[in-house]
Amino acid sequence: MAAQQGDKLEDLNLTSDEVKKITEALKDENFRNLLVEYAQEISDPENRKRYEAELTELERERGFDTKFVNPEPGFVLKTSVDGTKKCFVNICKNKLVEEATSTKSVRGTKIGEQWSIPFSMAPGREDVDKSGGKCVVYDVVFNPQTFSRAADDPRFKKLLQDTALDGIERQFAVKLDRGNLKIPKLKYKGCPQPTVIRTTTTTTENSTSGTKNDFLNGLKYPYDSVAPPMPETARERPRVDTTGSKVGGEKDRAPSENSPTVPTYTLTHRGIFDMQQCRDAPDARTSTRPQELVVAVDLPLLKSAKNVSLDVFPRQILLEASQPASYKLDVALPYPVDEDKGTAKFDKAKRRLTITLPVRPAAVPKLPTFLPDDTPHESNDGIADCRLESSPKLDRESSPNPKLDRDSSLKLNQDSSLKLN
């Protein structure tokens, strides 16, 4: 609990001056009384209704019909979002949402029903799970009659779940893990927060003062009456009408929901930079080869690495997990590693498995040389190789005058003796 409160204080990103001012204000009894009174006022249901009525009136003056949808608990879907964070989807109900309708559909010789299911949803909000880890919570609200039909018909309940997941992925550009979808024993995750259904009114009430309406219309407003264009990724999703309702009965679902999920991972090259490798010398070995490969795998639905199977090969990593979530990862490594000296560590707070593998060193090339092949060179043990060969025989041509050769030899001996004396 203390660690969880510490994380919340870090998210506030307060300066030392702000912390000092808050501390001094909390010492004042009048400030504490005003703070308690404000907390009771915003938590009072009657004040909340009055607040919503005032906002509805202001929106009507701008030409919008606003309805506050307070979600009523139903059931919860548990999964992960983008493969990095745990996610909860609250399937709720409220009578302000339109009821689902169906039409008969004939495909060949088969006759069935095609459903259009309206719903309302809000952007995801951050929350914490029971272990204190961060998670994302989405609210999807349906009509009570639609919700009751899902409780009686398992096939319709599956259609309701797919409608909620498709709507979240399309509207907020996220990816939900459908292969590890669970239904915990919860009716609602977090604190209920109302969503807003805002539509353009067909007739705008004119005020007695036209100048006031002109002034309000000239102000910037965060909501536009024109719906934003649908992103490219949403066009590949199942068909959805303009009111946010989904057409059911199609077969273009997520491929193989029962197959293991491929977790997200990062592959980092790690090494030590040495300036000696950048010298302009024959023995300098400038290389981008790392000393270690670090593979970080995000497993948001696992509490520990107890049920994780990890196999490391010189050029490959295989990871599999079946309980409580199904994951499978096959990574090809860019460099050969020493599989006997690697390490793996699971971070319970981040739900991340970090695998560190040392890279096998590359073969050291021979130093460049400009000496001929028959020149003595230094061996690997530092001892010079001396090649002993017999001296070549010199053929001396005999002089045609033996007497001249004898006189020359005598003169040479005399001159040598003179120099020595």
Percentage of the chain with pLDDT > 90? Answer: 11
Q: How far is CA 409 from CA 115, 403, 405, 413, 415, in A?
A: 127, 10, 6, 6, 10
Per the CB < 8 A criterion, the answer to whether 324 and 301 are in contact is yes
Mean pLDDT, the chain, whole residue set: 75
Cα–Cα distance measured from residue 147 to residue 160, given in angstroms and rounded to the nearest whole number: 8
Per-residue pLDDT reduced to its tens digit, 292-332? 999 999 888 888 888 888 888 888 999 988 888 888 899 89
pTM (predicted TM-score)? 0.58
Higher pLDDT pick, 174 / 244: 174
Read off the pLDDT of each residue in 238-256 and give the average, rounded to a whole number.
41
pLDDT for 138:
93
pLDDT for 242:
32
Nearest to 205 by CA among 53, 57, 68: 57
Q: pLDDT-based confidence at 418, cuts 50/70/90?
A: very low
Q: What is the DSSP letter of 187?
A: S
Per-residue pLDDT reduced to its tens digit, 393-404? 544 444 555 554
Q: How far is CA 278 from CA 121, 288, 289, 364, 367, in A?
A: 58, 11, 14, 16, 16
pLDDT for 416:
45
| Tokens 């909340």 found at | 48
Higher pLDDT pick, 190 / 220: 190
Read off the pLDDT of each residue in 199-207 and give the average, rounded to a whole number.
61
Listed range (59-63, 126-130, 357-361) with the worst mean pLDDT? 59-63
Read off the pLDDT of each residue in 278-291 and give the average, rounded to a whole number.
75
Q: What are the strands, taking DSSP E only, across 282-321?
A: 292-298, 308-313, 316-321
Read off the pLDDT of each residue in 349-356 and give the average, rounded to a whole number.
88
